[in-house]
């Protein structure tokens, strides 16, 4: 983009990503192989942007790397979505573990996960034991009204 022209690389990259970027650049040039990585760039408005960068060496007639072609895709929105998902999963996990109620997660194949309170409620030794059961293992053979389960 226009905003990246006439700016030194050290002014484009987040300071923590400058060294890894230069190492990646050097490795691509020395090995002659395409390589890439995720790096944080600083836009002119000082906003941090995550970029997936690909470096592709161009070789001359003798097989020596004469230049590198770099391409970058802005994945900032994707990174923000991933971070939001991780935060949401952490909140869920905290609620799941900290609640005083037994919680079991199921799908059509059976139990997928449970908290410690569920292990205690069902009288199992540990989570692995509880998850090895089918839900029908916990049904009474005879229902309170006298009918078979």
Condensed to tens digits (0 to 9), the pLDDT of residues 138-147 reads 888 888 888 8
Task: Look at residue 2 and tell me whether its pLDDT is greater than 50.
Answer: no
Average pLDDT (31-52) is 92
Count Cα neighbours of 19 within 13 Å in the Cβ-side half-sphere: 2
Average pLDDT (75-81) is 97
Beta strands in the chain (DSSP E): 35-42, 48-59, 65-74, 104-107, 110-114
Count Cα neighbours of 103 within 13 Å in the Cβ-side half-sphere: 13
Q: What is the pTM of this model?
A: 0.63
For 44-56, the pLDDT digits (tens) are 888 999 999 999 9
Average pLDDT (12-38) is 92
For 80-112, the pLDDT digits (tens) are 999 999 999 999 999 999 999 999 999 998 999
């Amino acid at each position: 983009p226009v905003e990246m022209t006439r700016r030194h690389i050290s002014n484009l990259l987040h300071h923590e990503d400058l060294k890894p970027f230069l190492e990646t650049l050097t490795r691509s040039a020395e090995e002659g192989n395409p390589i890439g990585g995720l790096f944080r760039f600083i836009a002119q408005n000082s906003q941090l942007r995550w970029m997936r960068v690909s470096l592709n060496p161009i070789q001359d007639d003798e097989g020596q790397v004469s230049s590198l072609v770099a391409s970058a895709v802005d994945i900032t929105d994707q990174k923000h979505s991933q971070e939001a998902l991780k935060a949401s999963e952490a909140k869920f996990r905290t609620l799941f573990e900290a609640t005083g109620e037994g919680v079991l997660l199921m799908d059509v194949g059976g139990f997928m996960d449970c908290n410690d309170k569920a292990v205690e409620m069902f009288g199992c030794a540990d989570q692995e034991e509880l998850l090895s059961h089918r839900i029908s293992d916990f049904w009474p053979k005879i229902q309170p009204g006298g009918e078979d389960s």
